[in-house]
Structure 1
Amino acid sequence: MNKVLVMVAQRIALGLLTLFVVSAIIFLAVELLPGDIATEILGQTATPETVAAIRRELGLDQPAYIRYFEWLLGVVQGDFGRSLATDREITELIGARLLNTLFLALVAAAVSVPLAIGLGVMAALYRNSTFDRSVNIFTLSAISMPEFFIAYMLILFFAVRIGWFPSLSKVDLDQPLFDRLYAVALPAVTLTLVIVAHIMRMTRATIINLMSSPFIEMATLKGLPPWRIVVRHALPNAWAPIVNVVVINLAYLISGVVVVEVVFVYPGLGQLMVDSVVKRDLPVVQACSLIFAATYIVLNLTADILSIVSNPRLLHPR
């Protein structure tokens, strides 16, 4: 147990250090964005004196390193600052948007994770069969196509031609659950098609590797049916890599939804970040980017910790 606690503490410290470095990179990248918020607010006809005055009012005349440490100190205290475009609290702006993004990710995960694990188990059970080849071809084709292409194809067939689902995903917290699920159907299917191949192939490969283990051979010699061997004996011993790839894909679902949200005009955190880039609203862009980075780091650390806990042999490297 002590080794596990030490390992968790080391991973947390490494995650905090990584997040600090990422915050500096985010701030620097946002600083390098073209355009100016003062000009965006005042318009192209503003005089240089007026632009300089609004920059002083917004604190943009200070050196970048001073603004970075002031911003970082506020983030540590839970204060992301105020939007330069709307003068609203950033926490107020991102609150509902973050919930929408989490809802979309949760719906996609609820569909994709059981589907991918089930397909992986079936592909391992019927290895080299027509079903196995068909699943591999379908999932590899889906993962080979970019998200925006899959999204536009779904819109073309299911929204424009058939008319089953809306092409724009308009949701709010006051909608009934069924209406929200109906609105996010196409974005959720897009994300599902993108990530299901990773989990399915990892599940299949892990189970196939375990099928040559002595305890599996013993179960086979006892006359157990193949499905029982896979489900009751192989799958429980394959959880470590499967959990790892599932959590990593959950991190992608939350931090990689920007393109999908933009295509479907979904009111999530990714859409807010893109809109803020257009408006040159630097604090909002920094806050959204940092939330995505923190989510990805936390879930990756979670995957690392779960894989070690579920397989204690990793605590004793050779």
Structure 2
Amino acid sequence: MNDLLLLVLKRLGFGLLTLLVVSILIFFAVELLPGDVAEAVLGQGATPETVQAMRDQLGLDRPAVVRYLEWLGGAVTGDFGVSAVSGEPVINAIGDRFVNTLFLAAYAAVIAVPFAILLGIVVALLRNSVFDRVANVLTLTSISSPEFFLGYILILYLSVKLPLFPAIASLSSDMSLGELLHRTFLPALTLVLVVTAHMMRMTRAAIINLLASPYIEMARLKGVPPWKVIVRHALPNAWAPIINVVALNLAYLITGVVLVEVVFVYPGIGQALVDAVSKRDFPVVQASSLIFAATFILLNLAADVGAIITNPRLRHPK
């Protein structure tokens, strides 16, 4: 137990160190942009007075290191500063949108994770069959297709030709759960098609790799049914790589939704990031990027911890 706790704390320390490095890159990437940030925010209507006022508001008259330390200290407490466009706190501008993104990711994950694992087990059982080959072709097609392309294809067939779902995921606070699920089905389905392919192929590869093990051959020689060989013998030992790929795809569901949110005009943090970039609202850009990075690092940490817990060889390295 102490060894496991030590490994988890070590992974957590590396994750925090990585997040610190990423925060430095995010903050100073804005500093390296050509031109004056205040003038970029104000645009063509900038005057010397408004530029100076904006510089005072953003604290650009102070050294960059001092501003970074203040920004990092505020970010730790949830204070990302004030939006350069609207003047409201950044956390208010992106808080509800981040919740919307988490909802969309959870919606897609609830469908994709069990379906992908079950499909991976089935194609492993039916290896080299017609079903296996068709599933591989379909998953490779899904992996090779960009998210925005899949989104537009779904809009064409499920919203235009067959008006089953709305093409624009407009949300309101007075929606029922059923209406919310209906309006967000197409963006969720787009994410499902992408991540299911990855998880299914990794599950299939993990199961097939274990089927060549001596203890699996022994179980087969004893006359154990194929489904029981996989469920009782192969699957428990395949959980480590499966949990790893599931966690990584969950990270993608949250951090890789930018294109999907733009296609369906979904009011999530990805859409907020795109809007902030177009408006030169750099405090929102920095906060959104840091939240994406923190979420990705946290889910990677969860993948590492899950792999350690499910694999005794990682808990007791020699």
TM-score (norm 2): 0.95
Contact 1:30 1:285 in 2 (8 A): no
Partner of 2:64: 64
Contact 1:37-1:281 within 8 A present in 2 as well: no
1:281 match: 281
Task: Indicate the percent of aligned positions where both proteins have the same amino acid.
Answer: 61
Contact 1:37 1:279 in 2 (8 A): no
Q: Give distance in 1, aligned partners of 2:317 and 2:58.
A: 53
Q: Residues 250-294 of structure 1: CA distance to partner in whole angstroms, max 9, x if unpaired?
A: 011011111110111100011111111111111111111111100
Mapped to 2, the partners of 1:63 and 1:234 lie a distance apart of 58
Structure 1 34/151 Cα, relative in aligned 2: closer, same or farther at 3 Å? farther
Q: Aligned-pair distance for 1:42? A: 4.6
**Residue type of the partner of 2:169?**
S
- Of stretches 138-147 and 41-50 in structure 1, the one that deviates more from structure 2 is 41-50
**Pair 172,46 (structure 1): closer, same or farther in 2 beyond 3 Å:** same
| Counterpart code for 1:301 | L
Determine the structure 1 residue equivalent to 2:135.
Answer: 135
Q: 1:129 to 1:92 in 2, by over 3 A?
A: same
List per-residue Cα deviations over 1:193-226 (Å, max 9, x = no partner).
Answer: 1111111111111111111223222221222221
Query: For residues 92 and 234 of structure 1, what CA distance do their matches in structure 2 show?
Result: 48
Deviations 1:127-160 (A, max 9, x none): 0000000000000110011111111111112112
Farther-moved stretch of structure 1 (74-83 vs 97-106): 74-83
Q: How does 1:10-159 map to 2 (within 5 A)?
A: 10-33=10-33, 38-39=38-39, 42-159=42-159
Separation of aligned partners in 2, 1:66 and 1:261: 35
String of CA shifts for 1:54-110, please: whole Å, max 9, x gaps: 322332232322211110111122211111111111221222111100000001101
Query: What is the CA–CA distance in structure 2 between the aligned matches of 1:30 and 1:190, rounded to whole Å?
Result: 32
Query: CA–CA distance in 1 between the matches of 2:268 and 2:289?
Result: 13
Matches within 5 A, 1:228-307: 228-307=228-307
- Shifted more, 25-34 versus 189-198: the winner is 25-34
Distance 1:105 1:133, change over 3 A: same
Match in the other structure for 2:199: 199
Cα deviation, residue 170, structure 1:
1.0
TM-score, normalised to structure 1, is 0.95
How far does residue 36 in structure 1 lie from its aligned partner after superposition? Answer: 5.6
Two-structure CA RMSD over aligned residues (Å): 1.7
The superposition leaves residues 214-256 of structure 1 with CA deviations (integer Å, 9 ceiling, x where unpaired) of 3222221222221121122211221111011001100110111
- Is the Cα contact below 8 Å between 1:83 and 1:90 reproduced in 2? yes
Asked if 2 retains the 8 angstrom alpha-carbon contact of 1:27 and 1:68, the reply is: yes
Task: Mark the CA change 1:41 to 1:203 in structure 2 (over 3 Å): closer, same or farther.
Answer: closer
Q: Secondary structure at the match of 1:62?
A: coil
Distance, in Å, in 1 between the alignment partners of 2:11 and 2:108 is 28
Residue ranges of structure 2 left out of the alignment (5+ in a row): none
Instruction: Mark the runs of 5 or more structure 1 residues left unpaired by the alignment.
Output: none
Q: 1:289 to 1:45 in 2, by over 3 A?
A: closer
Three-state SS of the structure 2 residue aligned to 1:238 is helix
SS of 1:123 mapped into structure 2 = helix
Letter of the 1:234 counterpart? A
